[in-house]
């Protein structure tokens, strides 16, 4: 296959995957949250189970007026949703869906480093959105998001370092291959890192219990306040696609990616990855509908006073054991 044909196919697949996964997880959230609250949730859209609810919502968003407030910084305001979306799309690039080279957007040598770096760009988009909206709620929400990113980026990266030390590689494919070669996923040895990564990923995605930046009841959804129509749809898709992306990264790093005991990775690889990813996405949704949100100061003190020292201790122990054993 020629390079350009492969590139084109991969681009189309990745750009299709972002809204597709966002729709699936968004629908799962609607239905799961409903049943967790003893409700039914979407019911009439589509013929059964309201499966077309989010498609209907998407069409509704497209029909809405595209409003830019007078006080807004027009150029930054319209650029912000794209920045958020791009960072999400870029995350999908390095998720390995199988053992072959075609099952990954690009097998980057320092894949996990790239993922950690590019995921922070999304918060830049959030800051742009909040700053350019010309609205105090948006600004407060965006600054909270910024503070939260700085606080939780550290435990996330430090939590991943343990995996990197144990695997001895930064490549996503390589990390999975090490886990398959040793026969058990890193979640057994790096459970502290797994815990840190999940918590920090929740914070990065602005999901409860870390949804202080978009706290509906006090900030009228923070940096999203002034957005409507298509731009809001971008943020919405990015939020749900992000759940998939982070869950997939966690599945790759800690749950052994496409490997599963006794199943051939040759054909089942993508299905195993997606199954593990959806299981983790379920946990994310489950947390959201169970826990109330942290207060801003509790949220910061949890990150700086507990998670960062825990992550550093984890790195120290992992490094010592790596040398000793």
Partner 1 sequence: MATGMGLLKGLWVTFSTMFTKPVTVMYPNVKELPVDRSRGVIALDEDACTSCMLCARQCPDWCIYIEGHKEEKPPSKPGGRPRTRNVLDRFDIDYALCMYCGICVEVCPFDALFWSPEYEYSELEMKPLLHDKAKLGEWLTTVPEPPALEDR
Q: Which of 114, 85, 91 is nearest to 19 (CA)?
A: 85
Hunting for tokens 């995605």 — which residue is that?
205
Q: In angstroms, give the least distance from the CB of 40 to partner 1.
A: 5
- Could you say whether residue 289 binds partner 1 (CB under 8 A)? yes
d(CA 134, CA 295): 25
Residues 226-285 that bind partner 1 (CB under 8 A): none
The sign of the dihedral angle between the CA atoms of 196, 197, 203, 207 is negative
* Total site size for partner 1, rule CB under 8 A: 14
For residue 113, state whether it binds partner 1 (rule: CB under 8 A).
no
Q: Which is nearer to partner 1, 295 or 322 (CB)?
A: 295
Q: Please choose, out of 14-22, 35-43, 95-103, 194-202, the segment that lies near partner 1 by the rule CB under 8 A.
A: 35-43
Residues 253, 163 contacting (CB under 8 angstroms): yes
Which residue, 7 or 40, has its beta carbon nearer to partner 1?
40
Closest C-alpha to 103, from 296, 266, 298:
266
Binding status of residue 35 toward partner 1 by CB under 8 A:
yes
- Interface residue with partner 1 among 18, 25, 30, 32 (CB under 8 A) is 32
- Shortest Cβ distance from residue 193 to partner 1 (Å)? 19
Interface pattern 36-55 for partner 1 (x via CB under 8 A): xxxxx--x------------
Which residues are CB-neighbours of 190 under 8 A, at least 6 positions away? 162, 163, 166, 254, 314, 318
Closer residue to partner 1 (CB): 137 or 278: 278
- Using CA atoms, how far apart are residues 180 and 258, in angstroms rounded to an integer? 9
Cβ proximity to partner 1: between 31 and 231 the closer is 31
Residue 245 vs 302, nearer CB to partner 1: 302
Determine the 3-state secondary structure of 41 from DSSP.
coil
Our CA dihedral for 92, 93, 98, 103, rounded to 10 degrees, sits at 120
Looking at 106, 218, 279, 290, which residue binds partner 1 (CB under 8 A)?
A: 290
Supply φ then ψ for residue 263, to 5 degrees.
Answer: -115, 135
SS3 of residue 158 by DSSP: helix
Smallest distance from partner 1 to CB 120, Å: 28
Phi/psi of residue 304, nearest 5 degrees = -80, -35
Task: Between 287 and 304, name the residue whose CB sits nearer to partner 1.
Answer: 287
- Contacts to partner 1 by CB under 8 A: 32, 34-40, 43, 286-287, 289-291
């Amino acid at each position: 296959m020629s390079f350009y044909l492969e590139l084109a196919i991969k681009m189309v697949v990745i750009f299709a995957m972002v809204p597709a996964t966002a729709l699936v997880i968004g629908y799962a959230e609607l239905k799961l949250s409903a049943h967790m609250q003893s409700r039914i949730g979407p019911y009439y859209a589509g013929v059964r189970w309201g499966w077309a609810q989010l498609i209907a919502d998407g069409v509704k968003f497209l029909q809405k007026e595209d409003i830019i407030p007078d006080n807004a910084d027009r150029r930054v305001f319209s650029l912000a949703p794209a920045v958020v979306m791009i960072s999400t799309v870029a995350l999908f690039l390095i998720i390995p869906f199988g053992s072959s080279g075609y099952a990954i957007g690009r097998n980057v040598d320092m894949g996990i480093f790239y993922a950690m770096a590019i995921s922070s760009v999304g918060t830049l988009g959030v800051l742009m959105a909040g700053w350019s909206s010309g609205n105090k709620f948006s600004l407060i929400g965006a600054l909270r998001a910024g503070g939260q990113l700085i606080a939780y980026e550290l435990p996330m990266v430090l939590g991943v370092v343990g995996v990197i030390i144990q695997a001895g590689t930064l490549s996503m494919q390589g990390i999975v291959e090490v886990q398959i070669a040793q026969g058990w996923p890193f979640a057994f040895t790096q459970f502290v890192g797994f815990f840190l990564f999940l918590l920090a990923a929740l914070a990065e995605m602005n999901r409860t219990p870390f949804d202080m930046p978009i706290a509906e009841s006090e900030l009228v959804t923070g940096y999203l306040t002034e957005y409507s129509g298509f731009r809001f749809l971008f943020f919405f898709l990015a939020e749900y696609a992000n759940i998939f992306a982070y869950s997939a990264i966690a599945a790759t790093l800690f749950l052994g990616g496409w490997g599963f005991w006794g199943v051939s990775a040759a054909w089942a690889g993508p299905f195993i990855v997606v199954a593990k990813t959806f299981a983790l996405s379920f946990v994310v949704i489950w947390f959201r509908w169970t826990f109330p949100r942290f207060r801003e100061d509790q949220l910061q003190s949890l990150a700086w006073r507990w998670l960062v020292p825990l992550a550093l201790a984890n790195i120290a122990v992992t490094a010592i054991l790596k040398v000793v054993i």
